[in-house]
Amino acid sequence: MTSDAERPFEIQAHRGARSFFPENTLQAFCSAVGLGFRVVELDLHVSFDRQIVVAQDPLLPSGKGLRGAGRSGQRIFSLTYSRIAGYDCGAPHPDFPLQQRIAASPPLLSDVFACVEGHMADSRSTGKMVYNLEIKSWPGRDGILHPPPRDYAALVLGVVRAAGMLHRVRLQSFDWRVVREVYRQAPDASCGLLAEKASSIRPNLRRLGFTPNWLNPLSTLATRRLVRQLQARGMRVVPWTVNTAEEASRIRNIGVGSWGHS
């Protein structure tokens, strides 16, 4: 079996190419194509009218405004997509001085697929894009920030299947419940479990009831021992929030074949 370390090294564009464009925007994802990325990571939420929206947080941040759509700081799950589409998310982030000011609103997942695939065709880009989809879900927040896991998984898979992308997506979450539901509804999908604490890894793997394709820990949790244990069980490992050359070198040296940066 080929180990992660023997595979070509994979670097993911986390929330798109956000060094140059605001995160989770169509411009950020399409820019990643030209920079050579062939895996983009993006975050999913559900609108009131059950549309799959690409955004990092469950609340639309205050202070940036909803163009003609009411107050900011509201829950995505409480707003129809027509209202969410009025939100301005194109302002540069102060942590990224090269970001351009753009006209943008939170896109639908279906629009990300269409835009990136169209851009790749128009630019005659080689290869195919893989979409690493983080399903934002929290135990205890069902019906408040998102639907229950079974409904949530069905909504996401519906969009993925409609786009013909089932075998070009990775579906991951910190919430083991929704990962389990994805597997139940699409056992041939590539599933990943995210981990922020070492103490959560074994219990959540047990709760899943199956071995996911990916176990993706916070980079500081990734040790040679952990990586080897996970790989021995058939899981690939993608540490996240790798932002320095030193950390990338460390991750590579312990046998990991891919990472996601923030």
Could you tell me the residue range of the domain that residue 47 belongs to? 8-58+107-260
Structural domain contains residue 1:
no
Determine the pLDDT at residue 104.
94
State percent of the chain over pLDDT 70: 90
C-alpha dihedral, 60 to 65 to 71 to 77, nearest 10°: -20
Q: Please report whether residue 81 resides in a domain.
A: no
Residue 82 lies in a domain: no
Give residue 1's pLDDT.
43
65 has a pLDDT exceeding 60: no
Per-residue pLDDT tens over the stretch 205-238: 999 999 999 999 999 999 999 999 999 999 999 8
Q: Is residue 191 part of a domain?
A: yes
Distance between first and last Cα of the chain: 30
Considering its fold, how many domains does the chain have in total? 1
- The pTM for the full model equals 0.90
Give the pLDDT score at 251.
Answer: 85
Q: How far is CA 10 from the centre of its chain?
A: 15
- Position 228 in a domain: yes
pLDDT-based confidence at residue 101 (cuts at 50, 70, 90): very high
CATH of the domain at 123: 3.20.20.190
Q: Per the domain annotation, does 66 fall within a domain?
A: no
Q: How confident is the model at residue 4 (pLDDT cuts 50, 70, 90)?
A: very low
